[in-house]
Amino acid sequence: MSIVSNSLKRIKPSPTLAVTQKARELKAAGKDVIGLGAGEPDFDTPENIKQAAIDAINRGETKYTAVDGTPKLKVAIVEKFKRENKLNYETKQISVGTGGKQIIYNAMMATVNPGDEVIIPAPYWVSYPDIVLLAGGNPIIIECSENENFKITPEKLKNSITSKTKWLVLNSPSNPTGSCYSENEIKSLAKILIENKQVHILSDDIYEHITYGKFNFFTIAQINELKDRTLTMNGVSKSYAMTGWRIGYGAGPVEIIKAMAKIQSQSTTNPSSISQAAAVEALNGPQNFIMERSKEFQERRDFVVKSLNEIKDLSCINPDGAFYVFPNCSKCLNKKDKKGKLLKTDSDFVESLLENNGVAVVQGSAFGLEGYFRISYATSTQNLKNALKRISEFCNSLS
């Protein structure tokens, strides 16, 4: 009899982390690999934020804190929501965790019972279904096509809701596609949700500040009728280039926030005291660099999308946010690479691209949609130029 629990057997390791680790191992072995799999900005954490952490250390703020966040950080988060989203919360409605992933994990573990359904539009961030499975729930995957800009429609949402539906997960801007829901699109979905009062919404806003052009970010908690049923997750990882600091936060109904704190009290307890001090400065300090970095991300996006659409048998839509693109490689399938291997799936495509041309990307099937792959352009322009040249050479070599 295996010592491993049955619930753990229901899930798989994170595919994105697996790709990143494989690229690291190949580089360590002396292989020339360009990694486009990691979902983290290549920019450094701003100096004022790093200094805030150093100052906190020098003040001796190295002890345990309140389980789900210091009062000072919770106040900064409340002010952030008021300033940027016109949302009013009290500190008792705020939870701080060790990264955004923990906020989502805590929420699902605290609320999902066996048999509960969680609607997850696909393509999705790889961890959503597995977290639901760990909590004992049933992820209901709703495929959203490229023709729909990879977004769930009101009709699909309505047809997916049952008496067992407990949550809808919305991620905008999206990982892996970069697609963003406009204010009108969110309001259209809201009409369905207002009618179905048993459904809560988990709004993953982690890429909120990475949007392009004239797109205006709007979050579903701004719909008054849904605010009390929405848990909004955000964090400092992407906007402030603080992935390693591991600070995420959520805002929502007091009952859910208290339940999440209970879960956290029996798992990690508080996030790092030093990271929390840094996050206070991130939220309260200068914000101008965010727009500057988004402008650079947009330039990279424009280059990558243009280059991909010039490559034989590839096509790619132009997303409004995040730092990912999700090109279609279906025309490359059922062809052979230069070693004679038949590429039957997008996983075969991705594996062959890495082995033959040294570019690490993530297969679309890992995100719930076969025939695509994800590129993270959160790397230097030179890396992107070299990688796109290799991808072009790879696609041209297929027969």
Among 8-22, 27-41, 166-180, 361-375, where is mean pLDDT lowest? Answer: 8-22
Which has the closest alpha carbon to 297: 322, 325, 315?
322
153-192 pLDDT, tens digit each? 999 999 999 999 999 999 999 999 999 999 999 999 999 9
The Cα 42–Cα 20 span in angstroms is 14
Phi, psi of 224 (to 5 degrees): -55, -40
* Peptide bond preceding 41 in cis form (omega within 30 of 0): no
pLDDT band at 31 (very low <50, low <70, confident <90, very high): confident
Mean pLDDT (the chain, rounded): 96
- Domains plus CATH for the chain? 6-44+289-397 (3.90.1150.10), 61-284 (3.40.640.10)
The one-letter code for the residue type at 92 is K
Which has the closest alpha carbon to 250: 263, 385, 24?
263
Contact 394, 353 (CB under 8 A): yes
CA angle 147, 150, 152 (to 5 degrees): 105
Report which DSSP code applies to 143: E
Q: Is the pLDDT of residue 92 over 80?
A: yes
- The pLDDT assigned to 329 comes to 98
Which has the closest alpha carbon to 90: 80, 81, 78?
78
Among 15-19, 28-32, 293-297, 395-399, where is mean pLDDT lowest? Answer: 15-19
- The pLDDT assigned to 299 comes to 98
Which has the closest alpha carbon to 18: 253, 393, 366?
366
Contact 391, 313 (CB under 8 A): no
Which has the closest alpha carbon to 55: 274, 245, 368, 356?
274
The Cβ of residue 335 has, within 10 Å, a number of other Cβ atoms equal to 17
- The pLDDT assigned to 115 comes to 95
- The pLDDT assigned to 11 comes to 85
The Cα 72–Cα 78 span in angstroms is 10
- The pLDDT assigned to 147 comes to 98
Strand ranges across the sheet with 138-143: 94-97, 248-251, 230-235, 200-204, 165-171, 117-122, 138-143
The Cα 382–Cα 195 span in angstroms is 50
The Cβ of residue 387 has, within 10 Å, a number of other Cβ atoms equal to 25
The Cβ of residue 365 has, within 10 Å, a number of other Cβ atoms equal to 18
The Cα 154–Cα 162 span in angstroms is 15
**CA dihedral for 266, 170, 9, 366, sign (positive or negative):** negative
The Cα 219–Cα 186 span in angstroms is 8
Mean pLDDT computed over 31-60 = 95
Percent over 70 (pLDDT), the chain? 100
272-290 pLDDT, tens digit each? 999 999 999 999 999 999 9
Six-digit token pair at 199?
Answer: 């459904």
